[in-house]
Every structure is written in structure tokens, then in C-alpha cells.
Amino acid sequence: MDHMTSPWEPAERVEHVRELAARGDLAALSHVLLHPQDSWHEGLGVTTVLRGLPERDRSALARLFTEHRAGESADSPADDRGLVLLAAVSHGIAEDGWCEAWEALLTGMAEELWSSGTSDELWTCAHALLDAGRRLPAEVVALLRRPTRTWDRQALTLTAPLPPEALRRTLTRWLTLAAPDGAYAPHNLPALAGLTWLLSLQPPHPTSTRTLSALIEVPPARTPLTGTAIRALSRFTVEGTPGNRSLANDGNPHAGG
């Protein structure tokens, strides 16, 4: 059975993991996963194989990963690797201590990735938390909900009947109200992120630039919205950015996602 793999993930490694899992050689599988040839965390291909194992095998691997983490220092990369692997096998067996560790790891990763993107381990740990019935930290929700080209097209379609100038004035007014307060309420973040991204789809305007800049500079502390505002502002400076609403009709490579 074929699995989706990450672009950087060697197909032969995924196949090797699949073969070890099929043989039930969990000791060898654990060693291969915990002691790889490179420093990358596992990608979607390996994660999918692990998530598909029977519960008894996943429980056995979870014990091995937990024992490995117990022997590592709390701030070592190997400790993070064990934690991500634990997330990959945790469906239906997650413990409170694991969830707390994933929450801390995800929050730290969101702070590191706020201006650049996401990573496979972010999705793996987020999936594990949701499986365990936990809420994701607000910083992680804001990062994972970054719009895609499909979102852009739908947003442009929905706002097409509105006069561009009136839409811009409304968006900048609402976002200006949000800028002075650095402690954004978590339940407001998705809406504010959507408004910020929608503003970046409009024709560039000095007021829009000032509004996005205020979301970056005015708050006393960096928030999950800061990275969204930086990415939105950058779209005004990229040639071909969807400021002319042409994205509704073509696949603009500069669309977010």
C-alpha cells in the first residue's frame, strides 16, 4: 500500500520501516527510528506506517520511546525525536504526561516557525493531541490555519461583489482596533488572521501597509498574529502578488500556503 511521504523523506527509509513493522521486529524498528543516519525527524510516510500499526505494537513502541526519552536530557534533540515518535503511535493510548510534553513542544515550535512555515513533526504532535481530546495551543492553531491558494480563491470570490475601496476601509478599521492590544484573545485569532490575509489580497495601499505594520510593531510582545501580518505585508512587495484579484482566475504561485 502506498503512503504519502514528505518531499525530503527517502522512499527507501519508509519502505525499510514498513518491512520491519510487517515482520513485527519492534526492537529493530525502535532502533532504526531513534537512531537515524541523519538529523531529520520522521516525515509523513513513516508517521503513517506507525499510526497504522495494531494497538499492541504501538503500545510496545511507546514503552520503548518513553524509556529512551527517560535516558536523554530534557533539552536534547534526541528527546524531541522520541516525543514526536511517541505522538505517531499514541492514538487511543495517550497519557496526560505525553500530552503536556506535546503542548510544550508545539508551543515552542510555533514560536520558532511563526515567520517561516510548518513542519511534519508539528502536524504529528498536533494530531496526537487532538486524538487525545486536547485543545491545541492558540499559537499552533494560528500557524496551522495559514490560508492556502484555495482559501485565497474562495475569499476573492466571496468578496468580489463588494467595492474594493469599501472593503479595504472596513478591513483596516477592524484591524486597527486590534493592533494596540498585544494579548489577543485566543478565540479571536482565527478571525483576525483571516482579516489580515484578506487585506493582503487587496490592491496595495498605504493605509493597508500601515495597518499591517502596526500589527507587527505596536503590540508589546510578539503574538501568533505577528507572523501572519509579516507574511501578508510581504505579499505587497512581491511582483505578481494577488493585489489585482487575478488569483481568482489563475494559480498564482505567490499565494500563501
- Host H or E run for residue 199: helix 189-200
Asked whether the predicted pLDDT for residue 1 surpasses 50, the reply is no
- CA 1 to chain centroid, in Å, comes to 27
Cell triple for 135: 485543545
CA distances from 70 to 47, 53, 76, 80 (A): 22, 24, 11, 12
pLDDT in tens, 34-89: 988 776 667 888 988 999 999 999 999 999 999 988 877 555 556 788 899 999 99
pLDDT in tens, 82-131: 899 999 999 999 999 999 999 998 888 776 665 455 677 877 888 899 88
Phi, psi of 204 (to 5 degrees): -55, 140
Query: Alpha-carbon distance 18 to 49, whole Å?
Result: 6
Cell triple for 12: 527507501
Look at residue 177 in the predicted model and tell me its pLDDT.
Answer: 82
pTM for this one?
0.54
Query: Alpha-carbon distance 192 to 232, whole Å?
Result: 12
Q: Which of 136 and 245 is assigned the larger pLDDT?
A: 136
